[in-house]
Amino acid sequence: MKYPVLLPNIFDHPFTYESELKLEVGDYVKVNFGKKIITGVIWDQFEKNTSKQFRIKSIEKKINIKPLKRQTIEFLNWFSKYNIVPLGMVLKLHLLSGNAVEIQNQNEYQKYQEINKKEQFKLSKEQEIALKEIIINNNSFRVHLLQGTTGSGKTIVYFNAIKKIIENQKQCLILLPEIGLTGEFEKKFKNFFGFEAAIWHSKITPKRKKIIWSGLANNEIKVVIGARSALFLPFQNLGLIIVDEEHDQSFKQDEGIIYNARDMSIARAKSENIPINLVTAVPSIETYANIKNKKYSHSRLFSRYKGANLPKHHIIDLNENKLLKKNFFSLKTLEKVKDHLEKGDQVLFFINRRGFAPYVLCKKCLNVYTCPNCSINLVYHKNKKKLLCHYCGHSSGMQRKCKKDNFCDFIFSGPGVEKIAEEVKLLFPDKEIIIFSSDTMNKASGKNILNKIISGKANILVGTQLISKGFHFPNLNCIIVLDIDLTSQGHDLRSTEKNLQLYHQLSGRAGRTGKPANVYFQTFNLKPEVINQITNDDPFNFLEYELKLRKQNSLPPFERFVSLILYSENEKLLDIEAAKLKKNISSKINEKVLGPVNAPIFKINRKFRSRLLIRAKKTSNIQEKLKMILNKIKFPKGMKLTVDVDPISFN
């Protein structure tokens, strides 16, 4: 009997094999492909007729795993069409290093099943109302937003919703935007439920991933806490999906297979006919639009947990309060910091730049040090004594021959977290200072750093936006924002929305245990009403205004954007092919095709980049049209095209 077998490779269709075994759609099988034996899945459709005749090979064996569910196959088919990704590459996201994992020894699953001591959490009246609203129609597809002020106890509310799903013997998936959040979150989960959730992200060992993959496929594991890739795991009985910090742009996978994990989670919930809860302090503009048009239901928590007050916001005008000489702080700022330190408060200096200095130049030859592979400056990391590229990872030492005289004499321009930490140390030599960024928190020492902060052993934090993401710091009551002027610049259509979300989340780190807390914005030229807008207690006010602007200008979520990016090491050839691509697409569709233009970061990893943008109505079915066009185009050797449906970044 003939069977369609989908394989984890670049092909957009299954291959036909035969077998005397009686196989079902979703069965995992081993087949011979080329000179290798690889894992495939019996799919729900055969490859389209081809004029060429091939000898049909036999299926080698059926793997002893429960079949991939029809609903999951339906989701993977939809994912492929929506994101214009070959179907075989979508299957690759589901398999574990190209394999399916048979059931492991039962002992391996015990840590996810043993019930230990649980803490008791009492819900406030507001939380109880939100929980009732969340669990209405809990047996069918529904998108519900839980929006709440930072520190209002959103997590405990949806933990109670998960509890009811588990009691019905179903599985749950909790998606988090950053793997740095999973450690603290894992503890919170275990305290509430009394058992461990399976943690899934890129840093988990291959052995542990095998146990989790097989445990889900065989219904031995109930809850997964994971990053984007957890969405493709083989849940056998999925009953609920939670997307925490749903607004966070880290949910967008922007290299390799490009997709938005939040949007794809909603699609998976729909295919499984189960509820999905989006959770945030400030919703994305797309989510807010869906609340307005009644596509999503929503609940709101206005009060902080145990009555804690939100921090007060203040502007320190740098036109009146000058920066100290060779310093990035005004005298007024330092006075506020001293007051808080004397009260025993933790203080955070916030600047969203990694490293020591974003620009390094020689004062003799005026040469600015840029990456040889990318069209951006190298960032100096003083702790590593290296210049680093944050795009391709290139690193180099500091000693350079000068074009004018002997060796270069460096000037470091602009502050990063390391520079600010150095200055703070000079001003407060007796205080414990910690840098909180992806360079420090993604290491093994990250847990120790967190414990130091939570226990109050650290007095001063210097952090990037990573610190705004869901951490609970009981002693933090003073935040100094150093770079709001910088984050307000640029031409990103989402920049205002991003700032709203960032500064709401950031403010939410302060005053969580009830003590008076303050956020100070050092600024030269930002108007007070702009800060009031992005720190308003009710973010829906801003989102309402922003949505009107988007509608007036036919911007997402009122239009679909599809970004096409061509890569080539040959700059002239890139220009020619980008123009040809524009002409080809424009002649076959009615939608607007803008560009081609050089990408703002023109070169990354030695490849030049040219961008086109397609603007289409939501109802135009632009992905299907594009797929047909792109399938017929052959690009010169070494040239690559990526397609980004619903782009977030325009770099």
pLDDT higher than threshold 60 for residue 620:
yes
Task: Give the sign of the dihedral formed by CA 110, CA 114, CA 119, CA 121.
Answer: positive
Report the DSSP beta bridge partners of residue 463: 350, 436
* Contact (CB, 8 A) for 248 and 265: no
DSSP state of 605: T
User: Residues 432-469: pLDDT tens digits?
Assistant: 999 988 888 766 667 788 888 888 889 999 999 888 87
Amino acid at 394: H
Structure tokens at 75: 């989701």
Please state which CATH number belongs to domain 308-548: 3.40.50.300
User: Residues 492-523: pLDDT tens digits?
Assistant: 677 778 888 888 888 878 887 778 899 998 88
Tell me which residue of 595, 590, 578 sits closest to 640, measured CA to CA: 578
pLDDT higher than threshold 70 for residue 485:
no
Q: List the single range of 371-375, 506-510, 556-560 with lowest mean pLDDT.
A: 506-510
Angstrom CA distances, 318 to 312, 321, 327, 519, stand at: 19, 5, 13, 16
User: Residues 377-405: pLDDT tens digits?
Assistant: 999 999 888 999 999 999 988 877 887 77
SS3 626: helix
- This prediction has a pTM of 0.91
The domain segmentation of the chain, as residue ranges, is: 2-94, 110-305, 308-548, 560-645
CATH superfamily to which 560-645 belongs: Ribosomal protein S10 (3.30.70.600)
DSSP state of 486: H
d(CA 98, CA 195) in angstroms, rounded, equals: 30
In this prediction, residue 443 carries a pLDDT of 60
Q: Helices marked H in 293-437 — which ranges?
A: 331-342, 417-427
Domains 110-305 and 560-645 share a fold: no
d(CA 249, CA 350) in angstroms, rounded, equals: 19
* Other Cβ atoms within 10 Å of 549 Cβ, number: 12
Average pLDDT, the chain: 90
CATH superfamily to which 2-94 belongs: PriA, 3(prime) DNA-binding domain (3.40.1440.60)
Burial class (CB in 10 A: 0-12, 13-18, 19+), 389: buried
Q: Find out if CATH 3.40.50.300 is the number for domain 110-305.
A: yes
Angstrom CA distances, 513 to 398, 517, 547, stand at: 45, 10, 34
CA dihedral (48, 51, 56, 62) in degrees, to 10, reads -10
Degrees, nearest 5: CA angle 97-224-72: 60
Report the DSSP beta bridge partners of residue 59: 31
Task: Give the sign of the dihedral formed by CA 166, CA 170, CA 171, CA 173.
Answer: negative
DSSP state of 119: -
d(CA 341, CA 431) in angstroms, rounded, equals: 9
Q: Across the beta sheet with 198-200, what order do the strands follow?
A: 198-200, 223-226, 171-175, 238-244, 275-280, 142-148, 297-301
* Contact (CB, 8 A) for 194 and 87: no
User: Residues 221-245: pLDDT tens digits?
Assistant: 999 999 999 999 999 999 999 999 9
In this prediction, residue 527 carries a pLDDT of 64
Angstrom CA distances, 501 to 208, 504, 505, stand at: 34, 5, 6
Structure tokens at 524: 């030269």
